[in-house]
Amino acid sequence: MFKKILVANRGEIAVRVIRTLKEMGIQTVAIYSLADKDSLHVQLADEAVCVGGNKSQDSYLNMKAILSAAVGTGAEAIHPGFGFLSENSQFAQLCEQCGITFIGPKPETIELMGNKANARIQMQQSKVPVIPGSEGFIHSVDEAIKIANKVGYPVMLKAASGGGGKGIRLVKNEVELRKAFYQAQQEALSSFNDDRMYLEKVMKNVKHLEVQVFRDENGHVAYLPERDCSVQRNKQKIIEESPCSILKNDERMELGKIAIKATESLNYLNTGTIEFLMDEHHNFYFMEMNTRIQVEHTISEMVTGVDIVKAQVLIANGDDLPFTQDDLKAHGTSIECRVNAEDPQNNFCPASGTVDYLYLPTGNLGVRIDTELYPQATVSPFYDSMVAKVVSWGPTRDEAIAKMKRLLDEIIIKGIKTNIEFHQAFLCDNQFMQDNVSTEYLEKEFLPEWKKGRFDATL
């Protein structure tokens, strides 16, 4: 087993990984920027190395500095967390060249699945159902128009190397497509240095489901119960739950079989998440694959009892999967609310500052809070606004929701603005309570009413 692992990330995910590594008896190395010198992950690690200035490109994206820190401290492996370099094939390749184990899939797999159009082609060849649209890259606006006319408007124009909502445009007609094509292409070029585009039909009233998969070096493969990630704003997940309450057992098994087929077609290694759209008739369509651990892995852990980070480390060490498919049953329901440092009343503008006072409820069955916050901690403006993940579990979905409402009601964070009251209001929404929420619901139906003050956040 590895004796020392460097965690190439920050915030709550770095804290979460470090804690599991400590439980496994593995020495930990944290990296940090100047802005994060007093952060919790730095305090918890056995060693910590400053890798650059405040900006991500100077620190958490600084491959040379991170690899130097790993070599200098004698780390045998690197856990990338999510975001930053977690899906960077060049970084994974450099780790190999330095004799350091990258805890994740092979560089060529990251490269293949990181390009969304190539991923579509791979899934089509593997007989995995994909969203109707282009079969490869779109090289001109005229080609895009031809495909859009075939599948029908509205369509979603997407950057092949996209992520974080960049290089994506919703297009309702040919006039909009002509204008949006060049805008999206330029945004993709500046964000990813790749202006290749592809196109998918916009599917209405869909749920966003995802399946986390594992595969070890000996070909053992398994999937975790699905997660429903349909509560979104600006294509960013806000609330997730597992399992999806409206799926029947035979549908759940069918979704799992599709995920396994995709995983085996890639000769995948370690863990990844395959994301699907599910239409009103419960047909599943491949959307993309994230070749890393997900923010919302917590809810899968709550319903299965599996430590996903520990499994990642074991697989990276060459061990077999520490579980079989029969072990991965969903027990009860788990829900996660992402707590962001932002002001929902001011168009969700990111917030920063010092945490003057903090109270996080602990105790009671089915409670988990992953966070980087502590009293007097500084929330800087340089990184993602998520500062905590509040996770509840209950024997039923209604009980998990009730527990989440209680947790959010007890949390006190003073000194920075957060979106907790927004979560409280949404959890009281009838459509959410009935699990009748599509990917468009929060933005198109709930948010306009909430802005008018028609929801009481203290219910």
All structural domains of the chain with their residue ranges: 4-103, 132-201, 207-451
Those residues whose C-beta lies under 8 Å from the C-beta of residue 118, and which sit 6 or more positions away, are 112, 160
Tell me, what's the pLDDT at 455?
62
Those residues whose C-beta lies under 8 Å from the C-beta of residue 310, and which sit 6 or more positions away, are 20, 23, 24, 322
Tell me, what's the pLDDT at 164?
66
Bridging pattern class, strands 342-343 and 155-163 = unpaired
The model's pTM: 0.92
CATH topology of domain 4-103: Rossmann fold (3.40.50)
Tell me, what's the pLDDT at 73?
98
CATH number for the region 207-451 comes to 3.30.470.20
**Bridge partner list, 78:** 6, 102
Low-confidence ranges of the chain (pLDDT < 70): 163-164, 454-459
The backbone torsions φ and ψ at residue 182, rounded to the nearest 5 degrees and listed phi first, read -75, -35
- Taking residue 406's Cβ as centre, other Cβ atoms within 10 Å add up to 13
CA distance 140 to 248: 42
CA distances from 56 to 63, 72, 121, 398 (A): 11, 21, 32, 40
Is 4-103's fold the same as 132-201's? no
Q: What is the DSSP string of 128-151?
A: --B-SB-SS-B-SHHHHHHHHHHH
> Which residue from 239, 240, 286, 238 is spatially nearest to 260, judged by alpha carbons?
286
- Rounded to the nearest angstrom, the gap between the alpha carbon of residue 218 and the centroid of all alpha carbons in its chain is 27
Those residues whose C-beta lies under 8 Å from the C-beta of residue 207, and which sit 6 or more positions away, are 228, 230, 244, 246, 277, 278, 437, 438, 439
Contacts by residues 371-374 (CB-CB < 8 Å, ≥ 24 positions apart): 371/12, 371/15, 371/339, 372/10, 372/11, 372/12, 372/14, 372/15, 372/39, 372/40, 372/41, 373/40, 373/413, 374/40
> What are the b/e assignments for 49-58, b being 16+ CB within 10 Å?
bbbbeeebee
CB 182 within 8 A of CB 145: no
CA distance 396 to 143: 49
50: three-class secondary structure by DSSP:
strand
pLDDT digits (tens, 9 = 90+) for 208-266: 999 999 999 999 999 999 999 999 998 899 999 999 999 999 999 999 999 999 999 99
The kind and range of the H/E element at 162 are: strand 155-163
> Which residue from 168, 124, 402, 158 is spatially nearest to 286, judged by alpha carbons?
124
Tell me, what's the pLDDT at 185?
92
| Catalytically annotated residues | 292
CB 225 within 8 A of CB 435: no
Q: Which CATH class is domain 132-201?
A: alpha beta
Tokens of 390: 């509040």
CA distances from 433 to 52, 176, 237, 394, 457 (A): 45, 36, 18, 14, 15
pLDDT digits (tens, 9 = 90+) for 55-81: 999 999 999 999 999 999 999 999 999
Tell me, what's the pLDDT at 115?
84
